[in-house]
Structure 1
Amino acid sequence: MPKVGILYNDAKSVACRSAIALKDKLTSLGWDVFMATGMGGILGYSNPDRPLCHTPIERLAPPGFDRDMSFAIILGGDGTVLSASRQLAPQGIPMLTINTGHMGFLTETYLNQLPPAIDAVVAGEYAIEERAMLRVQVFHNDTLLWEALCLNEMVLHREPMTCMCHFELAIGRHAPVDIAADGVIISTPTGSTAYSLSAGGAVVTPGVGVFQLLPICPHSLASRALVYADNEIVTIYPVSPNKLVMVVDGNGGCFVLPDYRVKVERSPYSARFVRLKEPEFFQILREKLGWGLPHIAKPTSVELP
């Protein structure tokens, strides 16, 4: 019996109702259906009592979600997709992403198109697009303290009410550089349209083998965005005396103390997206972010009443 998974945002009633109806339909078609919420991929925030709270990367998959699963259907918005990618990427499970949220930049189709989408994937009429992910690890000396996968970006920044941060940062074998800023962002091509874009970074089309490093509010005209090959490992050493905050995909993280180091590299796992048609990235940019819309000129003259 083929296996299929359903991951849904249980904070949205429409996603809950759709998940139950979808389970009934797939079961009637002879599929073995496993259900879980996206909460398992939420990293959670650290606090002074629990500064390092995380689950190892390979242990985030819900029960029953393994490499024998043909695909998983994700019901939610972009946050649910980001959470699901951490849960499913280590198992190599493709994701059919259905938007029940707001922006839906990472989703394949909308809820009102769910029936034909299910018919297509059940019939095997789809392709798989792989998106690179980051593996972020925090070390004290040689001891691994914290790790996470991220599809969009990792951010290392100062706590509120503290001074500007200093980072010593090394990319691969290249000489370390010093950056003075409120923080640094390292984003994937997928994340180039998220926080990185808001911070002044470039949009990178999916499939390009690069990551992007951006200082946040740097105190130097020389500290600007840098695009580098995704096979390079980045090591960040906090130089500031104050503790910093690590945030991954905007929803979880840990404290980073001055004697810690952060290692960021391409993950061996990729997020695998089910595509029902040939991806058109520029169309998504236009529809979701307004990129490339025609310019409407101002009239050359104004008629007075």
Structure 2
Amino acid sequence: MPKAGIIYNDIKPIACQVAQKLTKMLRQNDWEVETATGFGGLLGYAKPADATSPAVTNRPVCHTQIDQLIPPNFDKEMAFVIVLGGDGTVLSAARQVAPMGLPMLTVNTGHLGFLTEIYLQHLDEAITELLAGNYEIEERSMIAVQLFRDDDLLWEALSLNEMVLHREPLAGMCHFELQIGRHAPVDIAADGIIIATPTGSTAYSLSAGGPVVTPDVPVFQLAPICPHSLASRALVFSDSEPVNIVPATSHRLMLVVDGNGGAYVLPEDRVYLERSPYNAKFVRLQRPEFFRILREKLGWGMPHVAKPSSSKFT
């Protein structure tokens, strides 16, 4: 009996209703179906260390290991996973199923849905094509993010979009000592820094002035947030290079992954990033066309329309 999974956003009634409908339909067609909520892939925030208590400061922060986010009864025998929600649910689902290499058909029940493949009104036709095997699989790279204190692993997570290391509210400007691979370390003075995948190049990194990168390019990008220098600009580099970041500041910083969860970073800590051995796999019912998505979702490359001649500024 073939097997499929469904991951849905359980705080959206429409996603819950569609999940129930799909489960019933697939089981009637002799499919074994397992369901889970996107909540299982949420990272949460580690509790801050208390600098006044050495016992607490030296205690490792609790975290969920990357391969322990896999939902119960989900396994590599699944043909696919249907994800019902917005971009946040897709990011969560990617962390849940990437370690097993399961392809995701992403269905938008949210708003922008930049990471989703179809809208609800096209779901019936999409399921027909999915069950017939009429689709391609597109792979997207991910980042493995780890936080170390000395040699102790305090926190880790998979990231499909980006890792952000930034100051806390009311803290001053921060300095970051960053080393990419074997290259010489550099110092960046800014409110924060972003390390993004090509998928994440259209998210926070774009807002911070980073370039858009097509998903098939094997790179990471560094985007400083409000840098205190005209020389500190976005950098694109090979994703085969690991990255080490040390906060060269006395302030406690905040590490955030995919805008979802993270951990506090103390001055003696080190953040380590590398390309994950796991890729996020997306079911594409049409041949992937990234520029079309940019045009539809962000308005990139739209034809220029001249101002009307009646404008008072002409």
**Bin for the TM-score computed over the shorter chain:** over 0.9
CA drift of 1:54 comes to 2.2
* Correspondence 1:1-305 to 2 at 5 A: 1-48=1-48, 52-299=61-308
Q: Deviations over 1:46-74 (max 9, x none)?
A: 33379934210001010111111111000
For residues 162 and 266 of structure 1, the distance between their equivalents in structure 2, rounded to whole angstroms, comes to 31
2:245 is paired with a residue whose SS is strand
For residues 75 and 6 of structure 1, the distance between their equivalents in structure 2, rounded to whole angstroms, comes to 8
For residues 178 and 65 of structure 2, the distance between their equivalents in structure 1, rounded to whole angstroms, comes to 25
2:128 is paired with a residue whose SS is helix
For residues 218 and 170 of structure 2, the distance between their equivalents in structure 1, rounded to whole angstroms, comes to 37
Contact preservation (8 Å) 1:138, 1:144:
yes
Please report the TM-score for the alignment, with normalisation by the length of structure 2: 0.94
Q: Percent identity?
A: 67
Q: Deviations over 1:269-299 (max 9, x none)?
A: 0000001010111111111111111111124
The amino acid that maps onto 2:42 is I
Q: Deviations over 1:29-52 (max 9, x none)?
A: 110000000001000123337993
Contact preservation (8 Å) 1:44, 1:53:
no
For residues 53 and 106 of structure 1, the distance between their equivalents in structure 2, rounded to whole angstroms, comes to 30
Q: Which stretch shows the higher mean deviation, 194-203 or 288-297?
A: 288-297
CA drift of 1:116 comes to 1.0
Q: Which runs of 5+ in 1 are unaligned?
A: none
How well do the aligned residues superpose, as a CA RMSD in angstroms? 1.4
1:87 is paired with a residue whose SS is helix
Contact preservation (8 Å) 2:126, 2:285:
yes
The amino acid that maps onto 1:9 is N
Q: Deviations over 1:237-284 (max 9, x none)?
A: 111011100000001000011101000110000000001010111111
1:201 is paired with a residue whose SS is coil
For residues 301 and 253 of structure 1, the distance between their equivalents in structure 2, rounded to whole angstroms, comes to 52
Q: Which runs of 5+ in 2 are unaligned?
A: 50-55
1:258 is paired with a residue whose SS is coil
Contact preservation (8 Å) 1:45, 1:53:
no
CA drift of 1:300 comes to 5.3
2:121 is paired with a residue whose SS is helix
CA drift of 1:302 comes to 6.8
Contact preservation (8 Å) 1:117, 1:276:
yes
For residues 54 and 127 of structure 1, the distance between their equivalents in structure 2, rounded to whole angstroms, comes to 35
For residues 121 and 242 of structure 1, the distance between their equivalents in structure 2, rounded to whole angstroms, comes to 51
Please report the TM-score for the alignment, with normalisation by the length of structure 1: 0.97
